[in-house]
Structure 1
């Protein structure tokens, strides 16, 4: 039986997520302000993300699931757990190939972004192909019509 739990880290526990990112050979960082969340399986961190307050909502960054833990719904579960109590909009940037993953979680391509995120996306898009997505976290996804 697999023991999976989701946990918000305290500021003192911030190095735990930083260590996970390093262990996964990721350039993601657990620095700065924001809530840090992890998924633990049998006591070991297998996924993490960061949720930062911005404008009138939140910006989700740094989602990473350990390679050996992928395809088990851990990333979806972590996002669902983190956002279940949120009633403010949540935005994220992702590679276009990940859009369907986020759509299944209720995110849609963002037509408008807060200025802070819009300018940041423009900078990031100079070197990366990124898509902005957003959702009202407390709403269930609306099925698309074929």
Structure 2
């Protein structure tokens, strides 16, 4: 298994991965895209600068590879050298997974994310979480 930051010219491969999994997720042009690869991409996540931190989106592992620690390892690699807080929105069922990774419920969000969460919560059940730099 190989975990890496996907070079900018290869970002379309992440979108191809998301589409192959029938996911609406996409890698924004401004995001860092991290992947786990065996022969092909089997997991991906995006990190985007927001206010004074990073916003984590799009963490997805192929169903056949779930339960093997790939998401944990991918998060560990992607967040290893960060020096700023990281925020994410997740379904309440995923809260225990993110708590094991060091995330906690976010009492406050940067204004940009606060507005986005309010908009998303009109149609989805989501909770905001954050992780402080170590």
Aligned-residue CA RMSD (Å): 0.8
Q: Partner residue of 1:23?
A: 20
5+ residue gaps in structure 1?
139-146
Matching residue within 127, 131, 136 for 2:127: 131
Of 7, 11, 16, the residue aligned with 1:14 is 11
Deviates more, 1:9-18 or 1:118-127: 9-18
Q: Is 2:73 the partner of 1:86?
A: no
Alignment of 1:102-113 (within 5 A): 102-113=98-109
Cα distance in structure 2, aligned partners of 1:26 and 1:130: 17
Larger radius of gyration: 1
Partner SS, residue 72 of structure 1: coil
**Shift of the alpha carbon at 1:136?**
1.3
Task: Give the TM-score normalised by structure 1.
Answer: 0.89
**TM-score for both structures, normalised by structure 2:** 0.97
